[in-house]
Amino acid sequence: MQQPGSVIYVSFGSIAVKSEQQLEQLALGLEGSGQPFLWVLRLDIAEGKAAILPEGFEERTKKRALFVRWAPQAKVLAHASVGLFLTHSGWNSTLESMSMGVPVVGFPYFGDQFLNCRFAKEVWKIGLDFEDVDLDDRKVVMKEEVEGVVRRMMRTPEGKKMRDKVLRLKESAAKAVLPGGSSFLNLNTFVKDMTMSKGLQSKNETM
């Protein structure tokens, strides 16, 4: 029901958690952005507990928001209405976002997520992050920053450049898995090498 490229998909994977204060600020920032959104709210997202959203938040956003406990992520990202992925920057989520042509706002939690987020922003140039995120995840990203970053991604020429860039990456990824593409050839080479190794092993065992 939403316009193409207008919906923010919000999901922090299966492990990452946020403080209740951070979830409150995130909710208010999404509300302030004016964009429709689909938010995956796990039962343990609020430091092991279900999220308590700001009073009246769901009522105020009911015409443009949907809250779920789980979503088929690849299908969501492939939907024409989705125009931005607010993500924990896990590697699988990062790859899925690029392969579906959806730019990102990174909100990493631990481990390689910080590196993935930095690459998306500074190397691939397909997204932004929040300046207040740090390694111990104790600083709170305030609603003004959430709203501002979302608006930059969705409503400015800067955001359009990133959307165009990730669409080019999507095209490259699609070509890579077609016959003759780099991923297609690499996989075939791997299978041939494994087959040859197995054949040599069997021959040596026979001898």
119 with 187, same domain? no
1 inside domain: no
2 inside domain: no
Structure tokens at 131: 């300046």
Asked if 96 contacts 73 with a C-beta cutoff of 8 angstroms, the reply is: yes
144 inside domain: yes
Domain count, the chain: 2
**Distance of alpha carbon 204 from alpha carbon 207, whole angstroms:** 5
pLDDT per residue as tens, the chain (207 positions): 899 999 999 999 999 889 999 999 999 999 999 999 999 999 999 888 888 899 999 999 999 999 999 999 999 999 999 999 999 999 999 999 999 999 999 999 989 999 999 999 999 999 999 986 655 556 899 999 999 999 999 999 999 999 999 999 999 999 998 999 999 999 999 999 888 876 666 666 665
| Three-class SS state of 33 | helix
192 with 141, same domain? no
Q: Which helix (H) or strand (E) holds 187?
A: helix 182-206
118 with 206, same domain? no
132 with 198, same domain? no
55 with 43, same domain? yes
Domain that holds residue 133: 7-176
72 inside domain: yes
**Distance of alpha carbon 80 from alpha carbon 4, whole angstroms:** 5
- Tens digit of each residue's pLDDT (9 = 90 or more) over 165-206: 999 999 999 999 899 999 999 999 999 988 887 666 666 666
